Structure 1
């Protein structure tokens, strides 16, 4: 039994990590949805700003007595936009927290693996069971998950950091640009992996699970820049 202890230690670490991933994935998805709604609001504000800029207030008889109206309207629209930007910054901070939380838990798993690597039986690490993927597969999937969150966060952070009121056309296009990031990713990566390890998580004494339900591989994410 002593020779099984290193493998069991890694399995325990894996069983602690995947539930955290599931919890953080739910937070990630809800935050992305919140961002989509805010970006739609920001896009609408940009359209309103553009329309106000294109309107010659002096050519509208009813507006001539109010020469400062156009500038006042612009200030109010920009103030409303800044409120939306503040909310987006909060959502981005949540995405960063998800990324860091997942990364720290994945790191702990690999620290456990490194601590026991000299005593681990290679065949046992590579061998799946009828209900569970191999430990090697699960370690690789955790790397894929970590990479996914890191790359996705960076692309979204870059997009939001490019916002400035001098480019209203780009602001109007933000919802599509945001959705495109998701379309370029393997959107089912995390959920597929969680399905694949579900039996492993339910069987505390098992070695690891069947590898038939393979999630998107790391190669599927290679198109996403770091």
Structure 2
């Protein structure tokens, strides 16, 4: 593979980007992991809230406590708000990772564009058995960025759809979250980073 200054500059930039993404992937994975119990708690709370709505307190021994129903609903609403606030913080963590990765990828692509004329097409697509081409690695970065953008958007939209008026949907949140996590491309980032590590880029 050519050892031109442009090639060396791009390889260094790619190495830094993949190393940074490797660190960000840990933050991303932790945020996803933290969301799961919060969504389960919110689902359980929605079930309790729905059960409470079905009870006519005036027809039970609890009628002697006229403020109980209102107090219970208030406590449940406050608990739900607290869980949603925590979930919002986790989604904000996902957004930070998405933005950071977009920044890394944008920097590398900008650098490539600056050197594209000097490199030429042949140097960009040249690969050997142990080394992928620049085009290969740029495509990997693009795919990683697209994954983070897509997964963040799905996570954000899921939370935006939560409505207290639709408690049955709130109860299905854990299953909806699992569908996001079961996306076909979920292993793409770890697989790519593993592949890069074997090439000595990480």
Q: Same fold (TM over 0.5)?
A: yes
Q: In structure 2, the residue corresponding to 1:163 is in which secondary structure?
A: coil
Indicate the RMSD between aligned Cα atoms, in angstroms. 1.6
State how far apart, in whole Å, the 2-side matches of 1:104 and 1:34 are.
25
Q: Contact 1:43/1:172 (CA < 8 Å) preserved in 2?
A: yes
In structure 2, the partner of 1:49 is 49
Unpaired runs of 5+ residues, structure 2, are: none
- Runs of 4+ residues over 6 Å off in structure 1: none
State how far apart, in whole Å, the 1-side matches of 2:76 and 2:153 are.
29
Give 1:202 shift: 4.8
Q: Contact 1:35/1:91 (CA < 8 Å) preserved in 2?
A: yes
Q: Does 1:112 find its partner at 2:111?
A: yes
1:138-174 deviation line (CA, Å, top 9, x unaligned): 1001000000111111111111011121110111111
In structure 1, the partner of 2:132 is 133
In structure 1, the partner of 2:19 is 19
In structure 2, the partner of 1:66 is 65
Give 1:71 shift: 1.2
Give 1:103 shift: 0.4
State how far apart, in whole Å, the 2-side matches of 1:3 and 1:135 are.
13
The structure richer in helix per residue is 2
In structure 2, the partner of 1:143 is 142
State how far apart, in whole Å, the 2-side matches of 1:121 and 1:60 are.
81
TM-score norm. by structure 1 comes to 0.85
Q: Contact 2:105/2:145 (CA < 8 Å) preserved in 1?
A: yes
1:110-151 deviation line (CA, Å, top 9, x unaligned): 011011100104333212233222211110010000001111
Unpaired runs of 5+ residues, structure 1, are: 204-226
State how far apart, in whole Å, the 2-side matches of 1:92 and 1:172 are.
19
Q: Contact 1:131/1:199 (CA < 8 Å) preserved in 2?
A: no
Q: Contact 2:18/2:201 (CA < 8 Å) preserved in 1?
A: no
State how far apart, in whole Å, the 2-side matches of 1:136 and 1:200 are.
15
In structure 2, the partner of 1:197 is 196
State how far apart, in whole Å, the 1-side matches of 2:184 and 2:82 are.
29
Q: Does 1:101 find its partner at 2:100?
A: yes
TM-score norm. by structure 2 comes to 0.94
Q: Does 1:173 find its partner at 2:172?
A: yes
